[in-house]
Amino acid sequence: MSPDADLVFRALTMFGARDDEELAHELGLARKRVKVALDELTSWSAAGVAAGGRWRAAPAGTVLARLRQPTRPVRRRDIWRQHFRAMHGIDLPGPDDPTVRRLVSRAAARDRVQRLVAAERHEHLTINTEVISAAASAAALPLDRRQVERGVRVRVLQRPPTVDDHSLHHLAQLDTADPERVRELPDPPIKLLVYDRRIALFPVDPLNFEAGYVETADAVAVDQLCALFDRLWAQARRSGPGGRPAITLTPREQALVALLASGHTDASAAEELRLSLRTVAYTMRNLMDRLGVENRFQLAILLGASGTAPLPPVRRTQPAGPTEEEA
C-alpha cells in the first residue's frame, strides 16, 4: 500500500471509526490525500463505511493475507475502473472497449458536452462535486436554457452550496418551477453526466478533472451508472427553501433587506425607515456576521436562495460610512 493508505489503516485500527475529516485533522494530512488513501483501502476491502458515514478498518490478518496475493498493477488509464469497482461495485468496460472514448483534456470534454446537450431530448442527470464559478455558470447558462426550452427533464445532485458558489444564482436564472430539479448530498462520490440514459461522462481521475474524461455508451455500464444516480437521489434532500433551515430576520432586518433588494440605497432606505446611516450600516454588518458571509453580494445570493428575500440583479453597493448621528 501507499504510505498514506498504510497510515490511515493504522489510525483506523488503533483508534476506531473515523470520518475523512477527522482523519485529516488527526493525521495532519490534506483531506484530498485522505480520500485517495480511503479509496485505495476500499479497493483492497481493507476499510469500509459504517453507519453514520464513519470509516472502519477490516481485521488486519485478513487484509495482510489479501495483500500478499500477487496482483496486476492498476494502469493509470484504468483508474476510473478501480474507483467505480471499489466504491460502487460497478465493473465498467476497459479503455480498449469500442464503446469507451477517452477525452484527453477538460477542454475536449467541454466541447463534447456542448454536442451532447444539443442532441439531448428526454432526460439529463448530473452529479456535481465542484463549486460553480461565475465563468462556468456563464458558459453553461445558454446550454441549460436550451434544455429547459426543449422540455428535457434535468436532475442535479450537488453539495450544499456555499456563498461563493454560483450554482444558486445560476439556478435562479433558469425555470426552477420544478422542485425536483436539484437535490443535495453532503459529499457526492463522483462527478457524473448522463445524457438520455444512453451516454455517460465522468473524470478519468475522480480527484483531478484536468486529466480528462471518459465517455461510455455501453448499455450495461450506463444502466449501472443511472442506478447509482437513482440510489443517491433517493438519499439526497431537496435543495432550496424546503431543504435547508430557514433564515430568520428581525423586523428591522426584514424591512431593510426588502428596501435594498428593491433598489434603495443605504441613504434612501435610512430615510424611509427613519434610521441613521450608521444604524443601517451596523444592521447590515451584524446580519452578514450572523450568516457568515463577507459582503452584500454574498448576502443577497444567500437570502435569495433561501427564499428570505427576492434575488436582486447582480450589482454591488458599498456600505455607507457611519455618520455622527445615533439611532
pLDDT in tens, 207-217: 788 889 999 99
- pTM of model > 0.75: no
* 100 vs 143 pLDDT, higher one: 100
Strands 237-238 and 182-184: antiparallel
By CB atoms closer than 10 A (0-12, 13-18, 19+), residue 324 is exposed
Mean per-residue pLDDT over the chain, rounded: 80
Q: What is the distance between the alpha carbons of residues 236 and 186, in angstroms, rounded to a whole number?
A: 9
Sheet containing strand 237-238, strands side by side = 100-103, 208-216, 199-205, 192-195, 123-127, 153-158, 182-184, 237-238
Helices 31-43 and 79-88: crossing angle in degrees, nearest 10, is 80
pLDDT of 40 reads 82
pLDDT score recorded for residue 154: 87
The set of cell numbers assigned to 307 is 427564499
- Say if residues 285 and 318 touch (Cβ distance below 8 Å): no
Longest pairwise C-alpha distance within the chain:
79
pLDDT in tens, 253-286: 889 988 988 889 999 999 999 888 888 988 888 8
Contact 209, 203 (CB under 8 A): yes
Amino acid 271: pLDDT: 92
Q: What are the tens digits of pLDDT across the range 95-126?
A: 889 999 999 888 899 899 989 988 999 999 99
Question: What pLDDT score does 112 carry?
Answer: 93
| The one-letter amino acid at 75 | R
Query: Is 70 exceeded by the pLDDT of residue 177?
Result: no
Tell whether the model's pLDDT for residue 241 goes beyond 50.
Answer: no
Query: In angstroms, rounded to a whole number, what is the distance separating the alpha carbons of residues 289 and 194?
Result: 40
Residue 227: pLDDT band by 50, 70, 90 thresholds?
very high
Position with higher pLDDT, 17 vs 72: 17
SS (H, E, C) the chain: CCHHHHHHHHHHHHHCCECHHHHHHHHCCCHHHHHHHHHHHHHCCCEEECHHHCEEECCHHHHHHHHCCCCCCCCHHHHHHHHHHHHHCCCCCCCCCCCEEEECCHHHHHHHHHHHHHHCCCEEEEECCCCCCHHHHHHHHHHHHHHHHHCCEEEEEECCCCCCCCHHHHHHCCCCCCCCCEEECCCCCCCEEEECCCEEEEEEECCEEEEEEEEECCHHHHHHHHHHHHHHHHHCEECCCCCCCCCCCCHHHHHHHHHHHCCCCHHHHHHHHCCCHHHHHHHHHHHHHHHCCCCHHHHHHHHHHHCCCCCCCCCCCCCCCCCCCCC
Q: Is the pLDDT of residue 324 over 70?
A: no
- 251 versus 302: the higher-pLDDT residue is 251
What the block records as the C-alpha cell of 88 is 460502487
User: Tens of pLDDT along 47-67?
Assistant: 888 766 788 898 988 888 877
| Residue 323, pLDDT above cutoff 70 | no
pLDDT tier at 231, thresholds 50, 70, 90: very high
C-alpha distances in Å from residue 136, one per residue of 34, 124, 141, 268 = 28, 18, 9, 36
Give the pLDDT band of residue 240 (cuts 50, 70, 90): low
Contact yes or no for 193/157 (Cβ under 8 A): no
Q: How far is CA 102 from CA 96, 106, 214, in A?
A: 10, 11, 5
**74-95 pLDDT, tens digit each:** 566 778 888 888 778 888 998 8
